[in-house]
Structure 1
Amino acid sequence: MRDFRFGFNFSGLRPASEVADLCRTAEELGYDIALGTDHLPNGSPFSPLAIAAHATSRMRVGTLTINNEFWNPAMLAREAITLDYLTDGRFELGLGAGHMKWEFDAAGLPWRPIGERIERLGRTVEELRRLFTDGPGEPESAVQVRNRFGRRELKPVQKDGLHASGPPLLIGGTGDRVLSLAAQHADIVGIGGLFQVKGEPPGTFRMTTAAIAEERVTFIREQAGDRANGVEFNVLVQFVAITDDRRGLAENLVAERAPYLTVDEALETPFVLIGTAEQIAEQLRENRERFGFSYIVVHEPYMREFAPVIEKLS
C-alpha cells in the first residue's frame, strides 16, 4: 500500500514573495507538492512553480492539470524540461483534455468533441515521450553551435517518468476514454471530483459519488492490466471542513451546494472531507483501502484547514 502524499493547488496572479511565503508555509504544514492550474484568467501555470520550488527545500511542484488544447507538444515539452531543471527534478506534469468551453471561446480555439480532444491528448503524450527521450531533433549545425557555447541538450533531469525519461505524468478525468488513456500511459491517474452532466451545457458539473469513484477505479485497473499496481491514484478534494458536527455540516452542504446528493452520499464521497481531524484521517485511510487514493490534493482555500489531518497521518 502506498504512503500518503498531500498537495494543494493554487492559482491567480500574486507577487513572487507571496507565492514563496505560501509554499514555505505549506511545506511547514507537511504538504508534499504545490500544484498550478491552467485556466485562462489565472496567469501562467508554470512560472509560479519555479518560485515555489526555489522557496522550499523538499516540496515537489506540478500541474493539475495542463489543458492540452492550449499547447503545442514541443512548446509544452520545453516548459516541462525547463521546470524540471529549475526545480532540480522536483516537477510533475499533469495533463487533461480541457473542459471549460468558455475558455476555448475566449482564446479563439475550436471546441472539439471530447473524443477528438482525447485523441489529441494521446498524441501529445506520445510526442512528449519522444521529445523527453530524444530531444527536439536539432540539425547537426545547431548541435555544433550549442556545444560551442556550452549549452545543455534539451532533455529532462528526471528519468523515471513516461516509462523512460521525463517528469512523472498525471492524466486526470472522469470518462472512459481519458481514463483508458491514463491507465495505459500515466504514472499517476487523477479521478475527477466533478463530472459533466450529460445533456446539459458544458460547464454543468455534479459531485462524483463514492459509488461512481469505485466504478472508475475498477475500470482504470482493468484497463491498466499488469501495470495497475504501479499506478498512483490521485483525488482532488472539493470541500474540507473540520467540525465536531459532521452530519449537520453535511446537511448544510447538500442544501446549499449539492442538492442532487443525499447527506449520506456527501459523507461517503472521497471528494468531500467533513469531521474532526481524527475522523477525516480515518476516512482517508478507508478511502486508500477502498479506492487506492493515496495522493490527496485540496484547493488552496482549504490548505490550512486540512493541515491537522496531515499531522494525524504523518
Structure 2
Amino acid sequence: MPKPFRFGVVAPLTTDVATWRDRARRIADLGYSTLLVPDFPQTQPAPGPMLATAAAHTDLRVGTWVYATPFRPAWTTAWEAHSLTLMTDGRFEMGIGTGRPGIEHELRDKGQPDVPPNERLTRIRETVTTLRELDGLDRHTPVAMAVLGRRARALAAELADTVTFALGDQPRTEVAHLAREFHSTAVELALAVPVVGDTVAPHMAPPDTDPTALRAADALTVLPDDPAAAAEEIQRRRDEMGFSYFIFGAHVAEELAPMVAELAGR
C-alpha cells in the first residue's frame, strides 16, 4: 500500500527573525507537516536554534534538509539531533547527506579540511549509530538520507527512515530506476522539488538552474505552478515510483496550499 502524502517546506531565514517566525506559523496554518532548514554555515543561524524556535511557536514537525557531514563531526551531530528530539517532544527529523556540489570550496573558505567521499559515508554511519545509542529504547529520531551513488543508497536502505535522491536534471526514467530499489522496504521516499513553474527555491538548487531545461529533460525537480496540475503530477509520482513525501521552497507554500489541502494524509 502507498504511504500517505505529506508535505514539507524548506524555510531558510532570509528576513528578520520575527518575519521568519510568522512565516513558520503560516506554513503550519496551510497544512504542511514539516518545516525544514538547510545547513549553510554563516548564511543564517545554525539549524538547531532555528528548529527549536519553530517547534516552540507551531505544532509542525521540524528537520534539517540536510546536515552536511563534511562540516559536522559525528558525535556532536548526533548529540544535537537527539537534543532536538527531546526539546521538540519527538517532532524532529534528522536529514543528513554527504554534502552539496562545491562544498569543498566552502570548507576551504572556512579553514576546514576537505572530507573524502568514503569518509563522508563513514561519518553518516557513525552519526546515525550514535544517535540510536543516545535515543535509547524510549525514542526514535527519524533519519532522512539524501543519496545518489550506489554505496550511499545501500547505506540508506540500511539506516534511513526516509530516503531522498540528490537530483538535478536526471530524467523520470532514471529516477524510477533508483526508486525501485526501495519498493520492497519500509522506507519513505521523499522528493525535493526546488522548481515550481519558473521559480527556483533558494538553498534547494543552484541559482543558475534553468526551469525550461528541466521540463525538457522530464526531470522530477520541477512541477507546474498550477495547483491542480501539480496535484495530478504528484499523484502520478506516487503511483509510478512510490514518492509520498514532497518538499518545496517556502516561496511557493501559499501557491501550492490548495494541493496540500487536497492530498495531505491521503
- TM-score scaled by length of structure 2: 0.86
d(CA) in 1 for partners of 2:167, 2:249: 12
Is the radius of gyration larger for structure 1 or structure 2?
Answer: 1
Decide which moves more: 120-129 or 43-52. 120-129
Rate the CA distance shift 1:220–1:116 in 2: closer, same or farther, 3 A. Answer: farther
Q: Partners of 1:183 and 1:26 in 2: how far apart?
A: 30
Q: Secondary structure at the match of 2:224?
A: strand
The residue identity in structure 2 corresponding to 1:237 is V
Alignment CA distance shift 1:110-1:288 (3 Å): same
Q: Is 1:175 aligned with 2:137?
A: no
Alignment check: 8 A CA contact 1:68 1:95 kept: yes
Contact 1:240 1:305 in 2 (8 A): no
- Checking the alignment, whether the CA contact within 8 Å between 1:169 and 1:187 is kept in structure 2 is yes
Quote the offset at 1:262 in angstroms: 6.3
Report the AA paired with residue 117 of structure 1: R
Q: Which ranges in structure 2 are unaligned for 5 or more consecutive residues?
A: 199-208
Which position in structure 1 is the counterpart of 2:175? 213
Q: Secondary structure at the match of 1:94?
A: strand
Aligned residues, how many?
Answer: 251
**Residue 84 of structure 1, CA deviation:** 1.5
DSSP 3-state at the match of 1:111: coil
Identical counterparts, % of pairs: 30
Aligned match for 2:136, one of 114, 118, 133: 133
Please point out which of 190, 215, 218 is paired with 1:234.
190
State the AA in 2 paired with 1:257: D
CA positional deviation for 1:108 = 2.1
Indicate the structure with greater helix content. Answer: 1
Question: 1:139-150 to 2 correspondence within 5 Å?
Answer: none
2:221 pairs, out of 244, 254, 271, with 271
Q: What residue is the counterpart of 1:22 in the other structure? A: 23
Query: What stretches of structure 1 of length at least 5 have no aligned partner?
Result: 135-158, 160-164, 195-206, 243-255
Out of 142, 156, 166, the residue aligned to residue 140 of structure 2 is 166
Deviation per CA, 1:165-206: give whole Å up to 9, x if none. Answer: 431111112111111111111011112232xxxxxxxxxxxx
- 1:81 equivalent in structure 2: 82
1:54: Cα distance to partner? 1.3
TM-score of the superposition, structure 1-length normalised? Answer: 0.73
Say what the alpha-carbon RMSD is for the aligned residues: 2.3
CA contact (8 A) 1:278 1:312 kept: no
